[in-house]
Amino acid sequence: MAYVPLADQDQDMEMHHPHSWVEKYVWSQDHKVIAIQYGGLAVLTGIVGLVLSLLFRMQLGFPESVNFVDPNFYYQAVTMHGMIMVVYFLTALFLGGFGNYMVPLMLGARDMVFPFLNMMSVWTFLISVIILMASFFVGGGPTGAGWTLYPPQTTMAGTPGHDAGIILMLVSLAVFVVAFTMGGLNYVVTILQYRCRGMTLMRMPLTIWGIFVATVLGLFAFPALLVACIMMMFDTVLGTSFFMPAVLESGTPLDYEGGSPILFQHLFWFFGHPEVYIVALPAFGLVSDVLSVHARKNIFGYRMMVWAIIAIGGLSFIVWAHHMYVSGMNPYFGFFFATTTLIIAVPTALKVYNWLLTLWEGDIRLNAPMYFAIGFIFTFIHGGLTGLFLGNVVIDLPLSDTYFVVAHFHLVMGVSPILVLFAAIYHWYPKLSGRMYNETMAKVHFWFTFLGAYAIYLPMHYLGFLGVPRRYYALGNTDFIPLSAQDLNSSITIAALIVGASQILFFINIIGSLKWGKKADPNPWGAASLEWQTPDTPPVHGNWGENLPTVYRWAYDYSVPGAAEDFIPQNVPESEVAAARDAKSPENNGE
């Protein structure tokens, strides 16, 4: 079987049309259904992560107010919150959810290249989530080692969940890596091989560029996590000493000898740092498209945006040790990693300038997605600037493991991507569901989330400067921490509870609008990219009806001078644009 371009292929060749309800909604091979399964499961897992964070925030704000939050539970909640949010919520929602939904639609394909593999991916993800959640129900509970799972403490008595909990965590992560690899191969090959006629790489919307590079990062970075998990599993279950040094447990020497805990840290962060960008790059892409559509302007510096995405992706593999400044390393390494870390600020800042310049003199429509997108620019700048502090060895050392770090990474890779997720969900909701969400409710949701996020994380910077350490169940009587720090902690907790509760608005809006929402126009925002040009809304199985679209232009023809409308869809040829212009211009029709 030789290579056949997508546009030449027999239209029904790859399509496996579902015959029953179960095939259509459960064992579905349709990328849109899989996207919703992936996204839904990620959101459900994310809710668990959110509730855990509120529980340990109660302990921090109002010590011992919730009677089952003891020190063990506190550590378990912190650990599971971190791992769930980073891996099972953000990664799965951006790549599994948005990746699956957007890639074929934005590229003008009928589905992913390997629909069956795609289905396997989502079910494998479900298995990994079930294994993860099972750890709440085993003896000893889930692991409480911190989401970084540093040995040797991870597997030693005294750490909650050091027996069954950590094993389930490692197995779940390994299964997740398998699920991600199946999905990731699909996204990459689909983006390379299944673009419709005329869709060159440089005509792809930035969403696709973000998803593409993030997936490549994931495919290269997740193996490091897999390797670390396998070796730690061997140490835990089979008694090898890859990571475990000679160590005493309650005064008794354990059977380990000579292993290197630092080796684990290197492997973990070789995954862990690119992971930040696995989450951030799809967010960068999605927000670029939302900003451009609602500002009625082409994205400023499209090519630079693409280069920046690629450069960030490349650089993200040579900065990992900036997470390990306090682990001890050769000072020259510290210098190297500090330098690369600061260099990564260049393409990142470039993206921020381009977003701002996209807004400049745009015909801005302040719809709810635009609120969230502009909110993202704020939180991302603030979170990014503190990254410049922490990237320097000498500033990082005193701030390491304080609330300053917590504030930094929550703003930059927690709040910022989540604001983009809300922007993207509101923006594409009309296409996905065929109905409009409630605009007022969405804006109320925005203000609670945006202002609430600042109420939570701005004071944390100050706590960090005071030297308040992260991951402590209780602060005790410490001279350098004033009593007022506790008041600040209480206020943070109150803000967190309000933000948490305000997310109910989002769910009411999204679920309620399915039934009561106004019927949506196929292209309510006047967007130019392909996913808005489908013959049906929501798109049906196969996406494009009889014929695949042909692309004649890039995805950002907004407010083109002289054009009849303020946007030209990607699949409209130049001749039609000229005809529409002539029909409209007064000289030609004699008005």
Partner 1 sequence: MGLIKTVTEKPWERKGVIGGMAPEGTFAAESERVALVFFLVIATVVFSLFMVSYYLRMELPDWEPLSEPAQLWFNTGLLVASSVLFQWSRNIVVRDHTRNLYTSFFGAGVLAILFIVAQMVTWNHLQAGGFYLSSNPAIAFYYLLTGLHALHLIGGLWVWSKCAIRLTSGGEPGEVRLSIQLCTIYWHFLLLVWIVLFAILANT
Structure tokens belonging to residue 80: 């599971």
Task: Give the interface segment with partner 1, choosing from 48-56, 235-243, 379-387, 489-497 (CB under 8 A).
Answer: 235-243
The reply to whether 307 sits near partner 1 by the rule CB under 8 A is: yes
From candidates 62, 123, 136, 234, binder to partner 1 by CB under 8 A: 234
Least Å from the CB of residue 9 to partner 1: 9
Structure tokens belonging to residue 211: 């998803």
The reply to whether 580 sits near partner 1 by the rule CB under 8 A is: no
Contacts (CB under 8 A) with partner 1, residues 12-71: none
Nearer to partner 1, 310 or 481 (CB): 310
8-state DSSP, 153: G
The reply to whether 308 sits near partner 1 by the rule CB under 8 A is: no
State the greatest distance between any 2 C-alpha atoms of the chain, in Å, as a whole number. Answer: 97
CA end-to-end distance (rounded Å), the chain: 59
Least Å from the CB of residue 157 to partner 1: 19
Least Å from the CB of residue 415 to partner 1: 31
Nearer to partner 1, 201 or 366 (CB): 201
The reply to whether 385 sits near partner 1 by the rule CB under 8 A is: no
Q: Which residue has the tokens 């993207």?
A: 424
The reply to whether 267 sits near partner 1 by the rule CB under 8 A is: yes
Distances (CA, A) of 159 to 107, 144, 254, 406, 479: 48, 6, 15, 21, 27
Are 388 and 342 a contacting pair, CB within 8 Å? yes
Least Å from the CB of residue 6 to partner 1: 7
Are 84 and 143 a contacting pair, CB within 8 Å? no
Least Å from the CB of residue 206 to partner 1: 11
The reply to whether 483 sits near partner 1 by the rule CB under 8 A is: no
Are 198 and 552 a contacting pair, CB within 8 Å? yes
> Residues 190-229 vs partner 1: string with x where CB under 8 A?
--xxxxxxxxxxxx---------------xx--xx-xx--
Three-state secondary-structure class, residue 562: coil
Query: Which amino acid, one-letter code, is at 357?
Result: L
8-state DSSP, 531: G
The reply to whether 236 sits near partner 1 by the rule CB under 8 A is: no
Least Å from the CB of residue 189 to partner 1: 5
Angle at 165 between CA 159 and CA 169, to 5 degrees: 115
Are 544 and 460 a contacting pair, CB within 8 Å? no
The reply to whether 6 sits near partner 1 by the rule CB under 8 A is: yes
Least Å from the CB of residue 183 to partner 1: 12
Q: How many residues sit in the footprint of partner 1 (CB under 8 A)? A: 63
d(CA 375, CA 356): 12
The reply to whether 582 sits near partner 1 by the rule CB under 8 A is: no
The reply to whether 114 sits near partner 1 by the rule CB under 8 A is: yes
Q: Which residue has the tokens 């870390």?
A: 341
The reply to whether 506 sits near partner 1 by the rule CB under 8 A is: no
The reply to whether 288 sits near partner 1 by the rule CB under 8 A is: no
> Residues 512-551 vs partner 1: string with x where CB under 8 A?
--------------------------------------xx
Task: Give the interface segment with partner 1, choosing from 163-171, 296-304, 391-399, 496-504 (CB under 8 A).
Answer: 296-304
From candidates 134, 573, 576, 584, binder to partner 1 by CB under 8 A: 573
Contacts (CB under 8 A) with partner 1, residues 127-186: 181, 185
Nearer to partner 1, 122 or 412 (CB): 122
Distances (CA, A) of 207 to 98, 191, 305, 424, 489: 9, 12, 11, 10, 38
| Bridge partners (DSSP) listed for residue 567 | 558
Q: How many CA atoms lie within 13 A of 329 on its CB side?
A: 21
Cα 453 from chain centroid? 17
The reply to whether 189 sits near partner 1 by the rule CB under 8 A is: yes
The reply to whether 351 sits near partner 1 by the rule CB under 8 A is: no
From candidates 11, 240, 491, 559, binder to partner 1 by CB under 8 A: 240
Least Å from the CB of residue 330 to partner 1: 14
The DSSP annotation for 187-223 comes to: HHHHHHH---BT--GGGS-HHHHHHHHHHHHHHHHHH
Nearer to partner 1, 202 or 540 (CB): 202
H-helix or E-strand spanning residue 352:
helix 345-359
d(CA 87, CA 77): 15
The reply to whether 492 sits near partner 1 by the rule CB under 8 A is: no
Structure tokens belonging to residue 332: 């020259």
Query: Which amino acid, one-letter code, is at 292?
Result: S
Give every CB contact of residue 16 below 8 A, 6+ residues apart in sequence. 29, 115
From candidates 33, 93, 113, 254, binder to partner 1 by CB under 8 A: 113
From candidates 25, 65, 116, 257, binder to partner 1 by CB under 8 A: 257
Nearer to partner 1, 85 or 113 (CB): 113
d(CA 87, CA 180): 10
Are 357 and 300 a contacting pair, CB within 8 Å? yes
Least Å from the CB of residue 257 to partner 1: 5
- Kindly list the residues in this chain that would bind partner 1 in the complex (CB under 8 A): 1-3, 5-8, 113-114, 181, 185, 188-189, 192-203, 219-220, 223-224, 226-227, 230-231, 234, 238-242, 255, 257-260, 263, 266-267, 270, 298, 302-303, 306-307, 310, 550-554, 556-557, 573-574
